[in-house]
Amino acid sequence: MSTAVFLFALAIIGFFYASVGHGGASGYLAAMALSGQSQEVMRPSALVMNLFVSAVSFAQFARGGHFRWNVFWPFALTSVPCAYIGAGIHIDPVLYKRMLAVCLLFAVARLLGIFGSERNMRAASLPFALFIGAVLGLVSGIIGIGGGILLSPVILLLGWADAKETAAVSALFIFVNSAAGVMRSALDGVSLDPEVVGWVAAALGGGIVGGHFGAQRLNEPRLRQLLGVVLLLAAVKLFWA
């Protein structure tokens, strides 16, 4: 894969993921794998790109009035320390990613309406949200993603927020978990490839446009369908990783 094609791919990934409140780590990991990057380069680089893209995506959705602090904080409270811990855990990635892909496929089916109509909005259960945050934070740290791609379907399927509110919450969730992962990598002595500056610029450019597009231009059904497509692509990537 040429440098120009690789940078274009990062921009496209940033666009689509930011449009649904995601940072794009799973997509960046796939692009880097296809470009021949090593595992040592991929994980911290994906988290850094996640930081920038999730930040601009969150800013766009929050500016549109879609962020709900009461939905966000219980997940973040337990996810951040668990993401930090998970970043230091090394397990066989193949089996775990394939199991995760199967879970995502069920979420995709639900988001696309295969399992019937959606639930009405209701208040989040605090103990359950704290538990989910801890689990997703640990998983995110182990895999090297921000976790929004896992949190989004949970919030939507349980009826705790609508699609745009979910996007805003997920974007900030990704940011704080990615920051925890980057901090752990730095303390473990992991260094970034100098080329990551250009990669961040490409992903960020796509993310700025995508965040605006998702927050201002897409209606609820279209955003939900786009999220389903993003999750489907992520599931395929995880299954074949």
Count other C-beta atoms under 10 Å from residue 241's C-beta: 17
> Is pLDDT at 132 greater than 60 in this prediction?
yes
**Angle between helices 163-187 and 39-63 in degrees, nearest 10:** 140
Which of these, 239, 232, 240, 237, lies nearest to 104 by C-alpha position?
A: 232
Q: What is the pLDDT of residue 116?
A: 46
Find the mean pLDDT for residues 91-106.
73
Q: What is the pLDDT of residue 204?
A: 94
- Choose the weakest-confidence range: 73-82, 104-113, 195-204: 104-113
> Is pLDDT at 51 greater than 80 in this prediction?
yes
What is the token pair recorded at 112? 């696309």
Site of tokens 């927050």: 215
Q: What is the pLDDT of residue 89?
A: 83
| Segment 134-190, tens digit of pLDDT | 999 998 888 788 888 888 888 888 889 888 898 899 999 999 999 999 999 888 888
Q: What is the pLDDT of residue 78?
A: 97
CA distances from 41 to 38, 46, 49, 218 (A): 5, 9, 12, 34
Map the chain to HEC letters: CCHHHHHHHHHHHHHHHHCCCCCCHHHHHHHHHHCCCCHHHHHHHHHHHHHHHHHHHHHHHHHCCCCCHHHHHHHHHHHHHHHHHHCCCCCCHHHHHHHHHHHHHHHHHHHCCCCCCCCCCCCCCHHHHHHHHHHHHHHHHHHCCCCHHHHHHHHHHHCCCCHHHHHHHHHHHHHHHHHHHHHHHHHCCCCCCCCHHHHHHHHHHHHHHHHHHHHHHCCHHHHHHHHHHHHHHHHHHHHHC
Q: What is the pLDDT of residue 55?
A: 93
